[in-house]
């Protein structure tokens, strides 16, 4: 036997499917907002502070680069030359700088 569906039942099924779609979309937006506010935004803020610290380095500053403390002697585009002992100068990537004193 075939079941027949009425117009009211069909309308109810379509309304339920539409509601489920909007619920799924709302759920995805909430998850995206949570990820943005707890992961992306703080990381952007931290990276901006790090870039500000790197840009503020001047010759004579004491820095820690690659786990080694030293004094800045020369600043290049991508690297910094730092003196770690009398007459011992090493070249360290700016990305390896951990702190500026």
Q: Domain containing 89 — which CATH number?
A: 2.30.30.60
Considering the domain architecture, whether residues 50 and 70 belong to the same structural domain is answered as: no
Considering the domain architecture, whether residues 81 and 94 belong to the same structural domain is answered as: yes
Number of domains in the chain: 2
Considering the domain architecture, whether residues 33 and 62 belong to the same structural domain is answered as: no
Residue 67 lies in domain: 58-101
Q: Phi, psi at residue 70, to the nearest 5°?
A: -165, 180
- pLDDT at position 35 is 93
Neighbours of 1 (CB within 10 A): 3
- pLDDT at position 65 is 87
Distance CA 65, CA 14 (A): 63
- Mean pLDDT of each 10-residue bin along the chain, 101 residues long: 60 62 89 93 94 93 92 94 94 92 86
Q: Is the pTM of this model over 0.75?
A: no
Considering the domain architecture, whether residues 30 and 64 belong to the same structural domain is answered as: no
Distance CA 42, CA 1 (A): 62
- pLDDT at position 40 is 92
Q: Phi, psi at residue 59, to the nearest 5°?
A: -60, 130
């Amino acid at each position: 036997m075939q079941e027949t569906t009425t117009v009211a039942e069909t309308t109810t099924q379509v309304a339920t499917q539409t509601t489920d779609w909007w619920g799924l979309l709302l759920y995805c937006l909430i998850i995206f907002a949570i990820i943005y506010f707890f992961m992306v935004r703080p990381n952007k803020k931290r990276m901006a502070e790090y870039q500000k610290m790197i840009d503020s380095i001047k010759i004579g500053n004491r820095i820690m680069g690659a786990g080694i403390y030293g004094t800045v002697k020369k600043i290049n585009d991508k690297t910094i030359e730092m003196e770690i002992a009398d007459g011992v100068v090493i070249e360290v990537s700016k990305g390896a700088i951990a702190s500026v004193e």
